[in-house]
Amino acid sequence: MVLTIDIDNSTTNVGLFNQNGKLCFRSGLTTSRNPTRDQCAISLMNLFTLYHADLKEVSGAVISSVVPSVTAHMSGAVELLTGKAPMLMGPGIKTGLNIKSDLHNQLGSDIVACSVAAIDQYPTPIIIIDMGTAVTMSYLHDRTYEGCMIFPGVLVALDALSERAAALPHISVEPPASIFGHNTVDAMRSGVIYGNASMIDGMIARIEEHGQPAATVVATGDSAPEILRYCKHSITYNADLLLQGLYLIYRKNTEGRRRS
């Protein structure tokens, strides 16, 4: 079995794939900025207990991280529990992508993993929308990564609005009763929901102006479901896209070894 871990600024997603590439479980943990190796190990042990999985069956692991302060501790935890050092996404890892980037090491490993999974599953050209702490939109044609755009995430923008405007409260992201807010909370919810949906629709249109029309628009990330239902474009939601990409990258880089 292959353990996949994605460390984001807000959430650490953990998935376990069996020998057939089927996702056995997926779980999200709050990302702690300064965990110890043992704290990471305890969190992983608890997940395996919760989902009735056996750590002894893990034959390999791969980690994607955009939080350097956590990477080494999580890597050490995986090695402590499985006896095997995990594969770390970064320079030298084979992805099968032709990446158009001034500096390849500046492209987030989470974006790379999503791209690998999308190309494996969907027809191109593909627009990938990842709605997490930040919102990223990527465009791929054949196996070429053409580039991306990065925006503030839904919750990041909402928190900034509440903190900078003294009269505006902190609110949850929920659908408003109408596009026209009749009180402060509903007005904010309308702005967040419809504003982000309009941004997604507008950016899809602009991307297609500069490239071929997308055969697939796929989205992932915790914030996506609340926003996508208000978009005018047809968008496929795949919650496991990133973890699927990590699994595929692990397999690509371990070909010729014993199948796990």
Which pLDDT tens digit goes with each residue over 153-171?
888 888 888 888 878 888 8
Mean pLDDT, rounded, of the chain: 91
Q: Report the pLDDT value the prediction gives residue 34, as an integer from 0 to 100.
A: 86
B/e letters for 74-85, b = 16+ CB within 10 Å, e = fewer, are bbbbbeebbeee
Confidence tier at 201 by pLDDT (50, 70, 90): very high
Instruction: State mean pLDDT over 25-44.
Output: 93
Over range 184-205, report the average pLDDT. Answer: 92
Residue 72, pLDDT > 90, answer yes
pLDDT at 260: 45
The residues annotated with a catalytic role in the active site are 110
pLDDT at site 104 = 58
> Residue 4: helix, strand or coil by DSSP?
strand
Residue from 103, 100, 97, 123 nearest 248 by CA: 97
Kindly report the CA angle at 152 between 88 and 179, in degrees rounded to 5? 135
- Answer yes or no: pTM beyond 0.95: no
Sketch out the chain's domains with CATH numbers: 2-88 (3.30.420.40), 98-239 (3.30.420.40)
* Per-residue pLDDT tens digits for 210-242: 888 999 999 999 889 989 999 999 999 999 999
pLDDT given at position 106: 65
Confidence of residue 133 (pLDDT cuts 50, 70, 90): confident
